[in-house]
A and B are shown apart, each in its own frame.
Chain A
Amino acid sequence: MTGETAEPARSGSPLTRIAWHCRNNPKRELWFAWYTTVIFYNIFFIVFFPVTHAQPPPHPYWSDALVANWFGHNRGGLLIGFGIIFTIAGATAPQNALIAYSMRRMSVSRVFPYAYLVMYSLSAIPGLLLLCVVLSVGALRPGRDPAQLHWLYDFGFLSYTGTMGIFLIGSLVWMLAILLDKNRVMPKWFGYLNLCNALTEVVVAPAWIFHAGVFAWNGLISWWVDMVVFGIYTGAFLMQLRNLIRREDFGDGPLPGLVKKPEAMAATLAGTAP
């Protein structure tokens, strides 16, 4: 299918090269999923941190009046920021699809990718969208009773921070797949990193109990340390998925090692016929 096309224009403008890849790169579906994921995380970060100020989370121990004040102060940011999330949250699907694909490439049963896909498909609802809806409702009417606003505030932040099980079990599923895999799709250390990520979901559990201190939903341990782990984990899996795509040979056996860029491009053009 791709054998007849010319060599990619190495000296063309970036736009020409991107267009060439969109039309001809045999791995374009995988790259689409990867780039969508990266772009989504960037937008997500910008929306959640500077735009809505939903992260780092405000304090659980605030009084009704302070909570009402927070909603009033952040009204525009909340409604616009979460509007953006409501538009693009479907971009979590390619990430889950790509990770499921990584497990499909492994020597383990198809049960693993399907289990992961199902779990993570639903994770966006309690783990992301509930917060967005509930805080949007809080921002909707400036005159709402502060006690109700406080209820919405608790609902939003607790559901977001406290949705743990999917990420816990999901990470363990991926970990198990990686450790059992004989196709060397992902390195074992990354399998163990999944364990670390799963454990952060345990560490965050006290957020359901404490209003203040290091275990509160914005606490030093339940949020800050967990965020560092999550950040490292996310960076690691984005890198691993990128390596997977670069190494992918569309076969069934062990995945070949990473090859330098020009040779890789020549190989994919010449070697991988449908």
Chain B
Amino acid sequence: MTEIAQASPEPGAGAQPSGKTAGEPARVVPGQPDMWVLVLFESLLFTAYFAVYLFHRTADSEAFLRSQAQLSAWLGTLDTLLLLASSLFMLWCVQATRAGAFRSAMANAWITGLLGVAFLVSKVTEWIKLVRGGHSFTANEFFQYYFFLTGIHLLHLLIGFVVIGVIIYQLRSPARRSRDLVETYAVYWHTVDLLWVLIFSLLYVVR
């Protein structure tokens, strides 16, 4: 596996779509099309969840509004900034990988992960605070959606940690480095960020 991965005929390190041969031109789409399938699917799924939420919200907007007032907009904004920053570092990680600056890429990947951890800590703290305040998963309809959406998002974030772990592991050794893989998994991380922005807008902002 060469330092910057090209469209190679070998069944490569998890980054080659099937049937690729040596003579084909570089792909226009960064990251594998396969990852975009996942992104599209998850986005549609979350859209369905959001639609269900909005539909039920319009049926009982006052109760929802009252519950929404319990959420801290500041904390939500902080969370959003943390993830946006992490996406920025992920972007720099990809750029560094493309330029061959692997130490820099790894550093950026680590920082991305750390910002993700900060988000995790913030989110869990917020949950604990809410539950202690009597607003648990089963408290009322709004909080069902709140804990469900933030919970399923957090799960995606945890998967994102695995993804970053794989990126770092692969970047470590020259034999394993793959630009394709980093680009592909970066797409996943950006998706996690995007989903949070949507959840933030729906749950914290839209009143």
Q: Do chains A and B touch in the complex (CB under 8 A)?
A: yes
A225: Cβ under 8 A from any B Cβ: yes
We find that the number of chain A residues with CB closer than 8 angstroms to chain B is 29
- Judged by a CB distance under 8 angstroms, whether A189 is at the interface is yes
Chain B residues with CB below 8 A from A257, complex form: 18-19
Q: Given A184-B11, A257-B18, A193 and B38 touching (CB < 8 A)? A: yes
A220 within 8 A of B: yes
A56 contacts chain B at the CB level, 8 A cutoff: no
Instruction: For the complex, give the distance between the alpha carbons of A188 and B31 in Å.
Output: 12
Interchain CA distance A209-B49 in the complex, whole Å? 19
- Please name all residues of chain A whose beta carbon is closer than 8 Å to the beta carbon of B45 when the two chains form the complex: 196, 225, 229
A192 to B38, Cβ gap below 8 A? yes
- Asked whether B144 lies within 8 Å of A192 as measured between CB atoms, the reply is no
In whole angstroms, how far apart are the Cα atoms of A244 and B95 in the complex? 37
Most buried by B among A191, A213, A214: A214
B151 CB to nearest A CB, Å: 8
CB-CB under 8 A from B18, the residues of chain A are 184, 187, 257
Residues of B within 8 A of A192 (CB): 34-35, 37-38, 41
| Residue in chain B with minimal CB distance to A185 | B18
Residues in B162-204 with C-beta less than 8 Å from chain A: none
Judge whether B155 and A199 touch: CB under 8 Å.
yes
Q: Give the distance in Å from the alpha carbon of A195 to the alpha carbon of B32 in the complex.
A: 17
Question: What count of chain B residues pass the 8 Å CB interface test?
Answer: 27
Chain B residues with Cβ below 8 Å from A180 are: 14
Query: How close is A188's CB to chain B, nearest CB, in angstroms?
Result: 4
- Fill in one digit per residue for B2-37: 1 if any A CB lies within 8 Å of its CB, else 0: 000000000110100111000000000000111101
> Taking the complex as formed, is A221 at the interface, i.e. its CB lies under 8 A from any CB of chain B?
yes
Cβ–Cβ contact B48 & A225, under 8 A: yes
Shortest CB distance A273–B (Å): 25
The docked-state distance in angstroms from the alpha carbon of A228 to that of B152 is: 18
A221, B49: Cβ atoms closer than 8 Å: yes
A231–B56 Cα distance when bound, in Å, is 25
Q: A179-B14, A180-B14, A225-B48 are in contact. Are A189 and B38 (CB under 8 A)?
A: yes
Q: Is A202 interfacial (CB 8 A cutoff)?
A: yes
Chain A's closest residue to B19 (CB) is A257
Q: Residue on B with the closest CB to A256?
A: B19
Q: Is the CB of B49 within 8 A of A189?
A: no
Q: Answer whether residue B126 sits at the interface, using C-beta atoms and an 8 A cutoff.
A: no
Taking the closest CB of chain A, its distance from the CB of B202, in whole angstroms, is 15
Q: A184-B18, A188-B14, A215-B144 are in contact. Are A209 and B138 (CB under 8 A)?
A: yes
Given contacts A184-B11, A193-B38, A209-B138, contact A199 B152 (CB under 8 A): yes
Return the CB mask of B37-67 against A: 1 if under 8 Å, else 0: 1100110010011001000100000000000
B49 touches A196 (CB 8 A): no
Q: A184-B11, A221-B49 are in contact. List 6 more A-B contacts (CB 8 A).
A: A182-B12, A184-B19, A202-B155, A209-B138, A221-B52, A257-B18
Instruction: Give me 8 A-to-B residue pairs in the complex whose CB atoms sit less than 8 angstroms apart, sorted by A's number.
Output: A188-B35, A189-B37, A192-B34, A192-B41, A220-B52, A221-B49, A221-B148, A225-B52
